[in-house]
Chains A and B, each alone.
Chain A
Amino acid sequence: SQKIEQNSEALNIQEGKTATLTCNYTNYSPAYLQWYRQDPGRGPVFLLLIRENEKEKRKERLKVTFDTTLKQSLFHITASQPADSATYLCALRDTDKLIFGTGTRLQVFP
């Protein structure tokens, strides 16, 4: 069966450290993968898109990697801040649909 897996347990890290979130998928061959941020009571907000032929994408303190062999994407936030605390969702394109993972809650402590 097709699955997108993100760590359901919250990730707690100290301010200034690098947060790394994982997105694994099975039985998909996505053309690209996206990451969204969702704050409580709000809709998801697009952060980054990485295509299947790209290994890495950066935007300010954010970095995403995409390994189609491992079927995995890693999402890094460097120099994390309490304001980065939120749920982060990965989403992959399957034909014309965008399929979302369950999200990982990140808590950054001062």
Chain B
Amino acid sequence: EAGVVQSPRYKIIEKKQPVAFWCNPISGHNTLYWYLQNLGQGPELLIRYENEEAVDDSQLPKDRFSAERLKGVDSTLKIQPAELGDSAVYLCASSLGRSPQKLFFGEGSRLTVL
């Protein structure tokens, strides 16, 4: 069974440039999460989808961050414009059902903003 697939694995951009990350969850997993992980910290939830509906985006900085999950399968997280402080690892995870019994994470997308 294929795991959660994320791309790109690494991205280096200059500040004020846009960037997008893509995630394909495990087949059949209706719940998808985007987490932000800073160095030496635990993952912090940005947004959670149930199918195509964003049910929790309270921690997403909506002035520059946006996300979509068309057709309730794969998802894209966008930052525009990027700031120096956005340098971090962006993790995508998926799970079966609403209650997060067990999350399956992708390998993450490491963003460096210069």
A interface with B by C-beta (< 8 Å): 4, 8, 34, 36, 41-46, 49, 89, 91, 93, 96-103
| CA of A3 to CA of B100, assembled, Å | 19
Task: Assess whether B42 is in contact with A93, with CB atoms less than 8 Å apart.
Answer: no
Task: Assess whether B102 is in contact with A46, with CB atoms less than 8 Å apart.
Answer: yes
Q: Which chain A residue lies CB-closest to B50?
A: A96
Smallest CB–CB gap between A91 and chain B, Å? 8
Q: Which residues of B contact A36 (CB under 8 A)?
A: 103
Which of A42, A96, A98 has the most chain B CB within a 10 Å cutoff?
A98
Task: Assess whether A93 is in contact with B100, with CB atoms less than 8 Å apart.
Answer: yes
Interface residues on B, range: 20 to 34
A-contacting 9-mer, from B11-19, B64-72, B91-99: B91-99
Q: Return the contact of A97 from the options B4, B48, B91 (Cβ within 8 A).
A: B48
Smallest CB–CB gap between B39 and chain A, Å? 11
Q: Which chain B residue lies CB-closest to A97?
A: B45
Given A43-B4, A43-B105, output 15 extra A-B contacts at Cβ < 8 Å. A4-B42, A41-B110, A42-B107, A42-B108, A43-B91, A43-B93, A44-B43, A46-B104, A93-B99, A96-B55, A96-B56, A96-B100, A98-B103, A100-B44, A101-B42
Task: Assess whether B98 is in contact with A96, with CB atoms less than 8 Å apart.
Answer: yes
Chain A at the B interface: SS class: strand
Question: Can you show 11 pairs from A to B with CB atoms below 8 A apart?
Answer: A41-B110, A43-B106, A44-B91, A44-B105, A46-B104, A89-B43, A93-B99, A96-B56, A97-B100, A99-B45, A100-B35
Q: Which residues of A contact B40 (CB under 8 A)?
A: 8, 102-103
| CA of A41 to CA of B10, assembled, Å | 11
Q: Return the contact of B42 from the options A42, A43, A49, A103 (Cβ within 8 A).
A: A103
| CA of A99 to CA of B59, assembled, Å | 12
8 A Cβ contacts from B11-64 to A:
35, 40-45, 48, 55-56
Q: Which residues of B contact A44 (CB under 8 A)?
A: 43, 91, 103, 105
